[in-house]
Structure 1
């Protein structure tokens, strides 16, 4: 038997797929990000559904279990990391891209003091368990993100375990696999810590 994927809700928040509940479309329409992250707001409102239909990405909503408000969302898709070998040759590392990751700014404003580091919380209890569950079924070595080039934001991702490559390797990744829509963003990654499996 192949194991199924299980990612559990916490006492405060639940996670569900974009299409799991009819009310989600209404919640998505009200979702707002901070001004410097409008692209993530636009994606959820106007692009997430088509990416789902075309099997390009999977989007998950984080909801407050008490108020049923939409607190944030994240999108995942398969990808790879290219590493230079020699000359123009390269090797690839199987990975998962955290292609979209945002919290609702109005939700955070309404609940100031209740959850100081909502993004880090969602990452720890929902993003990472989902990625690790997938990694039990397919070969996945790393998780990566293209971060907005904000010093404060990148420091935040570093606290969550993301790293930058050396400048030459970072440029190599940007030239080979960086999507056009992530132009100006910075590649960051982390190697997954997974259980070793072997025959008993």
Structure 2
């Protein structure tokens, strides 16, 4: 059998951001990078963050993410549990890009959050609220986060919402909801949660 030529990995803003996070961690260490990310997310960057080159490294040249969204997304690559309060608060940020980024962080960091016993009904409810957001990107990010965060006791709240979102006309949102249901079914050993494909 001949090897298959796969297309090269696509250069995306998120991949470039991850490369910058890796560079910053190498130069400054994970603690300072995660702390700077929280300050970027909350609008509290310091002079030292700027003069050290840390914010410049993380922000990149001409990337399209806002400073707050960049701060949140940095936390997908480097994490400290003290960042959770800022990320939770950012799920209600006025900018949809920041809300979606915060929900993405919660999805990516779900295992660490569970290990720290930081996933509670209030967090799941806040993420669930994102499923009703005006922004389709936020709704999709919230659906994905529910798939990673919800536990058995949350199913009465999240399963009906995800089942409705599976029928959404936005294919990305419908796909995110279907994947979230699949993730819940697998993670919680609850096969009946899988979205029905019989239409």
TM-score by length of 1: 0.30
Higher relative contact order (CA 8 A, sep 6+): 1
More strand by share: 1
More helix by share: 2
TM-score by length of 2: 0.30
